[in-house]
Amino acid sequence: KAGVTQTPRYLIKTRGQQVTLSCSPISGHRSVSWYQQTPGQGLQFLFEYFSETQRNKGNFPGRFSGRQFSNSRSEMNVSTLELGDSALYLCASSLSSGQLVLAKNIQYFGAGTRLSVL
Amino acid sequence: EDKVVQSPLSLVVHEGDTVTLNCSYEVTNFRSLLWYKQEKKAPTFLFMLTSSGIEKKSGRLSSILDKKELFSILNITATQTGDSAVYLCAVGTSGTYKYIFGTGTRLKVLA
């Protein structure tokens, strides 16, 4: 079974540009979460999608947005890039989220997209 | 505000040593605690803990949860250089559909 796939692996952008990152979850997984990882802050939650609906959003500005498609693939978009957006963006998928069967909530991560903003 | 704190921040040991990593949490409506190992990019799942006092074990790694004192420990015995990584702790809460991560413990095992 293929794991979580994130594309692209690396991106270099300049301030003011926008970027779209893609995440294909493990087959059968319907929940996709996005995290930003920086050396000082660790993993910060961005948002979570389930069946094309965003169910939770972290404390990030509106420049960060996302969506999920009917096949559970997800994209996140960052507009008007700032230097501080340079980070590793990780996507994680799980069978579900918030279910009583807690093992279904285990998140499996992709390798991430390393974004550098110059 | 929900919070997960890991200690120590970093640790250097020699092969064969035993290490104990700590994760304490203050959250509303605790549901589960997960441990991950991150070597280069993708964190890989190690354990899920939901009940106090029940040890989870996988080879040289083991973990236990104390819901009364609000912490978990991850033990690694007979460490090897391949154990060098960042170990992440994450706590899930009811009704929020998200995990709160600690900043991790960076472990370096010297040959």
Mean pLDDT of A103-107: 84
Instruction: Please give the span between the terminal C-alpha atoms of chain A, in angstroms, as a whole number.
Output: 37
**Consecutive sets of 10 residues in chain B, 111 residues long: mean pLDDT of each?**
94 98 94 94 93 92 95 98 97 86 96 95
Given a cut of 70, whether residue A7 has pLDDT beyond it is yes
Contact across the interface for A103 and B36, Cβ inside 8 Å: no
Given a cut of 90, whether residue A80 has pLDDT beyond it is yes
**Which chain A residues are within 8 Å of B99, Cβ to Cβ?**
33, 45, 107
| Interchain CB contact of A58 with B (< 8 Å) | yes
pLDDT attached to residue B26: 96
The answer for B35, left when phi > 0, alpha when psi is -120 to 50, beta otherwise, is beta
Instruction: Please give the span between the terminal C-alpha atoms of chain B, in angstroms, as a whole number.
Output: 41
In this complex, which of B41, B48, B95 lies closest to A98 when CB atoms are compared? Answer: B95
Mean pLDDT of A36-43: 88
Residue A70's identity, in one-letter code, is S
**Which chain A residues are within 8 Å of B104, Cβ to Cβ?**
42
CA-to-CA separations, A37 to A83, B38, B43, B88, in angstroms, rounded: 14, 12, 11, 12
Segment among A77-86, A99-108, B12-21, B29-38 with least mean pLDDT: A99-108
| Interchain CB contact of A15 with B (< 8 Å) | no
pLDDT attached to residue A99: 62
Tell me the two tokens of residue A115: 């974004």
Backbone phi and psi for residue B104, each to the nearest 5 degrees, phi listed first: 95, 160
Tell me the two tokens of residue A90: 């990780």
Distance CA A45, CA A58 (A): 5
Given a cut of 90, whether residue A45 has pLDDT beyond it is yes
Residue with tokens 């991850």: B74
Size of interface A-B (CB pairs under 8 A): 64
